[in-house]
Chains A and B, each alone.
Chain A
C-alpha cells in the first residue's frame, strides 16, 4: 500500500530539514527570500514527517524496525547509531510534524513581519531544530538519542537568545543552557548505568535486559531520567528555565518550544521508564503524581500573577506538563498494582493531553506573538480592546483559551475527563494509598482547571476586550499576517476537531498503549460519536466495580449546536430592531476613563490574596499627604504597588547558584594560565584514566 518505504520517507524529511537550515544559514542575496525559503522547506519536512507517522500508525507497520547506519557500527558498540520506527515513534513524529507544521506555516507569516534582526538565520536554525527533534524521536540507540538531545538543546538555545542585544534575553538564555546541561548530565548518567547493566545502548536490547536489573540500579536510572526529562518538560521544581526562556524567544520559537519541544521530555519518559524499564514499583508512580500535582497547582497560580502575556503562557505550560505527569504517574501506579486496563486509560489521558497541549499552547503563543508583534509590548496592562483591530487573532485565541480551560466540547476537556476517570477508577483497586492519593490528585486537578479558566478570562479579557489601555493599543488597525492567521486557524480547528471527535486521534494511540501497558482496547466501539467507555478497554483485569463513566462528546457537541440554533431562532423572533449604542453605566457620574478599568493585576488580586503563601506577595500602599491639618485625610497622591516574589527562586535556587559560584572561584585557582601547568594536568588525567581502565576495565561490556 505504501509507495515509499517509511525509512526512505523519514530520510527524505531529515534531508529536507537539513536543507532548510542550509537555505537560512548560507549567505544569500535576499534575506527575505532566504527566510521564506528556509521556512517553506521546514514546512515540507514537517509534512513528510506527518506522512511517515500516518504510514506507521494507520498502515499497521507493527513492531519496531531498526536500521543500523553503516560505518558507525565497527568503532564501538556503545557509540553505535540506529534509527527505529515503532508506534511510539510514530505518535511523536505526528506531533512534531502536524503541530510543528502548523507553527511553521505561521512562522512564514511571523518571521518576516516581526523579526527584524537576521530573520534568515532564525529561519535556518528553526529548520535544523525541527530536524533535531525528529532525529531524537527516531533514535534507536542511547548514543544517537543523546546527540540529538544535545542538538535540540543547543539549537533552541540559539533561537532563545536570538534578540541577544538585551541583557534579559542573555540571562534567560544562560539559565536555560545551565538547566538543560544539568539535565543532560543526568540523562547521560542514567544511560551509562543502563548501558553498564544491560550491555547495550540499543533501546531494543536494553529493554530486553533492563527488567532483570537489580532494584537499586533501576531506581537510580528512574531518578536520573525524571531529573533529566523532567527538566526539559518543565516540571516543578525543575521548571525555572521555562518562564525565563519562553518570553525571551521570538514568539514562533516559544510556540514550538512550548508546544512540541517540552513534550520530548514526555517522550523520553515514555521511552525509558515505560518501554525500556517496563514500569516499576509503586513509588515511581507516586513521584510522578506528586511532581505533576505540584506543577499543575504552582504553574497556574504563578500564571495568574503575571501581566507579561508570554510569561503567563509559559507558566501554563508548567501547569499542563503537570497534568501530563499526573496521568503518567497514575499509569505507573496502575501498572505496578497489576491493572493494565486502567493504566491504559491513564496513558491515553497522558498522550492525548500531550497532543492537546501542543495544539492549544502552540495556538496561544502564536496569538500572543501576533499581539506582541503588533503592539510592541508584552505587558498586558498596555493592551485592551484588541478584538476590534485584530478580530481573527482574537477569535483564534479565544478557542485556545477555552481549550486550555478544559471547556466542552474542546479537546482539553476530553483529556482531563479521561484523567478524572482514571483517578476515579482507583476506587475499585482496593489499594488504600492509591485511593487517597488519587482523590487528592483529582481535587488538585479540578482546582487547577478552575484556576486556568480564571486565568484565561483574565488574559483574554485584558488583552482583547474592554477599552484600549494605551495609545499603542488604540492605534492597532491591522491583524496578523495571512500565513500566521492560517496557522492559527489550523490549530484552532484541530482543537475543535479533536474535541468533538477524539476518536480520530485516540485510535492512533492503540499500538503505543498496547506496547507500553499490554492492554489493548477495541477500536470499533470508539467509532464516530460512540461513547468513550471503560468497558471497551480489554486487558488482563478490570476492576470489579461495574461500568464507569462514558462520554460521547460528539453527541454533547451536537446537542450544544441544536440548542444554540434554537436559541438563535428565539433571538431572531424576539428581536425588535437593531440595538442602540450608549455610554456604559457610570453611576450617573463622570464618564469613566480606561484607567479605571480592571487591570490584569487587579483581576488577579483575589487569588494572590487567598494563596499568598505561594507567592510571598508584598502589596505596598503609599499615601502622599496633601499637608492638611489632619494627615491622612486629604491625599495628593496614592501609590499602590504589589510585587510578586518567586519563593522557589530565592529559597532553593539562589543558594545553589551561590554555592556554584564559590566552587568555581576555588577551582579557578587551578587556572594559572601557565602552559606547563596545563600540560601537567593533561598527563595527570591520562595516568588516572589508564589506571582506572586497568582497575575497572572489566566492568564495562
Chain B
C-alpha cells in the first residue's frame, strides 16, 4: 500500500475536513429527530441545527462583566483542537493524510486540550453554574482518560501500532476474523466512552433546562453569538470524531485503501451510513435510559475500564500478532 502523492493527500485532507465540518450538524439533527420520534413527538427538521448555527453566527456577542480576555478566545481554541483531530483518523481512505504525524494518543491529547479550554472558560465569569459544569466535566473527562488509553492499547495490540490507519488496515486484512471477542469488548468500552465524552444520556442530558442538572450546558450559559455557534458545532464534531473512529475500527469494511473513484465513493457513502446509524442508535438509547446520578458515572467508567482490560487480557490469551 503506497501512500498517494502529496497533493492528493492534501486534497483528501481538505475534503475530509469539509466533510466532517459539513455533516456534524446533520448528525445532531438525526439524534434529535430519532429521540423525538421515539417519544411520539414530531421533532425538529433534520436541517434545524444548520439553521441554529446560522442564527447564532448572526447574533451579537455578549460577555459577562466579570469575564477576562480568556472568554472570547477559549471556545475557538477548543473548536480548533477538535477540528485538528480530523486528519489523524481514518474516514473513508487509509492511510489517513496526517497519520504519520500523529496517532490515537495525539487525538486523546487534542480532545483533552479542547476540554481544558472549555472548562477554563466556564470558570471565567465566576458564576456558580459555570464552576459546577466545569468541575463535573473535568471529572468525567479525567475518568474517561484511562478508558480511552486502554482501548487504544486493546485495539492496537494485534497490529502493534497506536496509529489509526495501521489498525484499520490490519483489520481489513483479516476479513471477518477481524471481529474477535477482544475487539468487541474494547469497542463496547469505547461506546460507553463515546456517551460520556459527548455528553449524552445517561451521563449528561443535552436537552435539559434545569441548571442544577447540567454539565455541558452549565458551562456554556455565559456564551452567545458566534462563540456559542462554534461551541455547538464543536460538540457535533466531537461526536463525529468518536463515532467515526469507533465505526472505522469496528467495521472497517468499505474504507478505501487505494485511490479510485469507485472505491472512494463507496468509502464516503458507507461512512455516511455508519455515522448516521451510530447517531440513530444513540438517539434510541437516549430515550430508553434516564440520566444517572453524577457519582454513578464513576461506575460506568469503571465498567468501561474493566471491559478494556478484559479485551487486553483476551488478546494475551490469543497471542499478539496472530
Chain A residues close to B by CB (< 8 Å) = 384-385, 387-388, 391, 402, 405-408, 413, 417, 420-421, 423-424, 427-428, 432, 435-436, 439, 442-447, 449-451, 453-454, 456-458, 460-462, 464-467, 531, 543-553, 555-556, 559-560, 563-564, 567-568, 571, 574-577, 579-587, 592, 594, 596-598, 602-603, 605-607, 609-610
Q: From B222, which residue of chain A is reached at the shortest CB distance? A: A584
Q: Considering the chains assembled together, what is the distance between the CA atoms of A567 and B129 in angstroms? A: 28
User: Which residue of B58, B69, B81 is within 8 Å of A560 (Cβ)?
Assistant: B81
Q: From A611, which residue of chain B is reached at the shortest CB distance? A: B298
Instruction: Specify which chain B residues have a CB less than 8 angstroms from the CB of A439 in the assembled complex.
Output: 150, 153, 309, 312
Instruction: Specify which chain B residues have a CB less than 8 angstroms from the CB of A408 in the assembled complex.
Output: 106, 109-110, 113
Q: Considering the chains assembled together, what is the distance between the CA atoms of A461 and B119 in angstroms? A: 9
Q: Is the CB of A428 within 8 A of B106?
A: no
How many Å from the CB of B64 to the closest CB on chain A?
Answer: 4
Q: Considering the chains assembled together, what is the distance between the CA atoms of A555 and B230 in angstroms? A: 24
Q: Is the CB of A531 within 8 A of B84?
A: no
Q: Considering the chains assembled together, what is the distance between the CA atoms of A264 and B181 in angstroms? A: 47
Q: Is the CB of B64 within 8 A of A443?
A: no
Instruction: Specify which chain B residues have a CB less than 8 angstroms from the CB of A444 in the assembled complex.
Output: 146
Sample of 4 further A-B pairs with CB below 8 A, known A453-B142, A574-B229: A405-B112, A549-B161, A555-B102, A594-B126
Q: Is the CB of B126 within 8 A of A543?
A: no
Q: Is the CB of A559 within 8 A of B161?
A: no
B interface, over-half SS = helix
Binds A, one of B43-51, B132-140, B252-260, B271-279: B132-140
> Which residues of chain B (272-322) have a CB below 8 Å from chain A?
294-295, 298, 305, 309, 312, 315-316, 320-321
Binds A, one of B27-35, B70-78, B171-179, B238-246: B70-78
Q: Is B128 located at the chain interface by the 8 A CB criterion? A: yes
Q: Is the CB of A584 within 8 A of B125?
A: yes
Q: Is the CB of B112 within 8 A of A407?
A: yes
Q: Is the CB of A465 within 8 A of B150?
A: no
Q: Is B201 located at the chain interface by the 8 A CB criterion? A: no
Q: Which 8 pairs from chain A and chain B are nearest by CB?
A: A598-B131, A545-B160, A450-B145, A466-B126, A461-B123, A450-B142, A579-B61, A555-B101
Instruction: Specify which chain A residues have a CB less than 8 angstroms from the CB of B69 in the assembled complex.
Output: 387, 391
Q: Considering the chains assembled together, what is the distance between the CA atoms of A556 and B88 in angstroms? A: 9
How many Å from the CB of B43 to the closest CB on chain A?
Answer: 28
> Which residues of chain B (160-189) have a CB below 8 Å from chain A?
160-163, 166
Decide yes or no: A406 and B60 within 8 Å by CB, A450-B145, A606-B139 being known contacts: no
In the complex, 24 of the A-B residue pairs with CB atoms within 8 angstroms, ordered by the A residue number, are A408-B106, A420-B105, A428-B160, A436-B316, A439-B309, A447-B146, A450-B143, A453-B142, A461-B119, A466-B123, A546-B161, A547-B160, A548-B160, A550-B163, A555-B101, A555-B102, A579-B61, A580-B63, A584-B65, A585-B64, A585-B129, A587-B211, A603-B131, A605-B135
Q: Is the CB of A550 within 8 A of B103?
A: yes
Q: Is the CB of A585 within 8 A of B221?
A: yes
Q: Is the CB of B226 within 8 A of A443?
A: no
Decide yes or no: A453 and B64 within 8 Å by CB, A432-B316, A568-B76, A574-B57 being known contacts: no
Q: Considering the chains assembled together, what is the distance between the CA atoms of A584 and B121 in angstroms? A: 13
Q: Considering the chains assembled together, what is the distance between the CA atoms of A609 and B112 in angstroms? A: 23
User: Which residue of A413, A464, A548 is within 8 Å of B161 (Cβ)?
Assistant: A548
How many Å from the CB of A587 to the closest CB on chain B?
Answer: 7
User: Which residue of B106, B127, B136, B321 is within 8 Å of A545 (Cβ)?
Assistant: B321
Instruction: Specify which chain B residues have a CB less than 8 angstroms from the CB of A445 in the assembled complex.
Output: 149
Instruction: Specify which chain A residues have a CB less than 8 angstroms from the CB of B116 in the assembled complex.
Output: 402, 405, 407, 453, 456-457
Q: Is the CB of B112 within 8 A of A552?
A: no
How many Å from the CB of B240 to the closest CB on chain A?
Answer: 16
User: Which residue of A446, A447, A560 is within 8 Å of B80 (Cβ)?
Assistant: A560
Q: Considering the chains assembled together, what is the distance between the CA atoms of A413 and B105 in angstroms? A: 9
Q: Considering the chains assembled together, what is the distance between the CA atoms of A388 and B143 in angstroms? A: 33
Interface centre among B57, B100, B123, B229 (most CB of A within 10 A): B123
Interface centre among B65, B148, B294 (most CB of A within 10 A): B65
Q: Considering the chains assembled together, what is the distance between the CA atoms of A435 and B80 in angstroms? A: 36
How many Å from the CB of A498 to the closest CB on chain B?
Answer: 15
Q: Considering the chains assembled together, what is the distance between the CA atoms of A432 and B60 in angstroms? A: 60
Instruction: Specify which chain B residues have a CB less than 8 angstroms from the CB of A417 in the assembled complex.
Output: 105-106, 109
Q: Is the CB of A556 within 8 A of B135?
A: no
How many Å from the CB of B121 to the closest CB on chain A?
Answer: 9
Q: Considering the chains assembled together, what is the distance between the CA atoms of A466 and B83 in angstroms? A: 28
Q: Is the CB of B128 within 8 A of A598?
A: yes
Decide yes or no: A575 and B126 within 8 Å by CB, A387-B68, A427-B160, A446-B148 being known contacts: no
Q: Is B3 located at the chain interface by the 8 A CB criterion? A: no
A interface, over-half SS = helix
Decide yes or no: A387 and B101 within 8 Å by CB, A579-B60, A584-B222 being known contacts: no
How many Å from the CB of A141 to the closest CB on chain B?
Answer: 43
Q: Considering the chains assembled together, what is the distance between the CA atoms of A547 and B166 in angstroms? A: 9
Q: From A594, which residue of chain B is reached at the shortest CB distance? A: B126
Decide yes or no: A584 and B127 within 8 Å by CB, A428-B320, A550-B100, A560-B81 being known contacts: yes
User: Which residue of B84, B120, B132, B145 is within 8 Å of A461 (Cβ)?
Assistant: B120
User: Which residue of B98, B144, B160 is within 8 Å of A555 (Cβ)?
Assistant: B98
Decide yes or no: A567 and B230 within 8 Å by CB, A465-B120, A545-B320, A574-B57 being known contacts: yes
> Which residues of chain B (81-111) have a CB below 8 Å from chain A?
81, 83-84, 87, 98, 100-103, 105-106, 109-110
User: Which residue of B79, B124, B225 is within 8 Å of A567 (Cβ)?
Assistant: B79
Q: Is B62 located at the chain interface by the 8 A CB criterion? A: yes
Decide yes or no: A446 and B150 within 8 Å by CB, A405-B112, A585-B222 being known contacts: yes
Q: Considering the chains assembled together, what is the distance between the CA atoms of A261 and B143 in angstroms? A: 32
User: Which residue of B145, B221, B312 is within 8 Å of A446 (Cβ)?
Assistant: B145
Instruction: Specify which chain B residues have a CB less than 8 angstroms from the CB of A462 in the assembled complex.
Output: 123
How many Å from the CB of B232 to the closest CB on chain A?
Answer: 14
How many Å from the CB of A611 to the closest CB on chain B?
Answer: 10
Decide yes or no: A584 and B126 within 8 Å by CB, A421-B162, A576-B60, A579-B225 being known contacts: yes
Q: Considering the chains assembled together, what is the distance between the CA atoms of A559 and B60 in angstroms? A: 30
Q: Is the CB of A598 within 8 A of B64?
A: no
Q: Is the CB of B110 within 8 A of A465?
A: no
Q: Is B141 located at the chain interface by the 8 A CB criterion? A: yes
Q: Is B156 located at the chain interface by the 8 A CB criterion? A: yes
Q: Is the CB of A467 within 8 A of B126?
A: yes
Q: Considering the chains assembled together, what is the distance between the CA atoms of A167 and B125 in angstroms? A: 38
How many Å from the CB of A517 to the closest CB on chain B?
Answer: 21
How many Å from the CB of A386 to the closest CB on chain B?
Answer: 10
Q: From B308, which residue of chain A is reached at the shortest CB distance? A: A443
Instruction: Specify which chain A residues have a CB less than 8 angstroms from the CB of B225 in the assembled complex.
Output: 579
Instruction: Specify which chain A residues have a CB less than 8 angstroms from the CB of B264 in the assembled complex.
Output: none
How many Å from the CB of A392 to the closest CB on chain B?
Answer: 12
How many Å from the CB of B95 to the closest CB on chain A?
Answer: 11
Q: Considering the chains assembled together, what is the distance between the CA atoms of A567 and B226 in angstroms? A: 11
Q: Is B157 located at the chain interface by the 8 A CB criterion? A: yes
Q: Is the CB of B125 within 8 A of A466?
A: yes
Instruction: Specify which chain B residues have a CB less than 8 angstroms from the CB of A406 in the assembled complex.
Output: 109, 112
Instruction: Specify which chain B residues have a CB less than 8 angstroms from the CB of A384 in the assembled complex.
Output: 126
Q: Is the CB of A551 within 8 A of B101?
A: yes
Instruction: Specify which chain A residues have a CB less than 8 angstroms from the CB of B127 in the assembled complex.
Output: 584-586, 592, 597
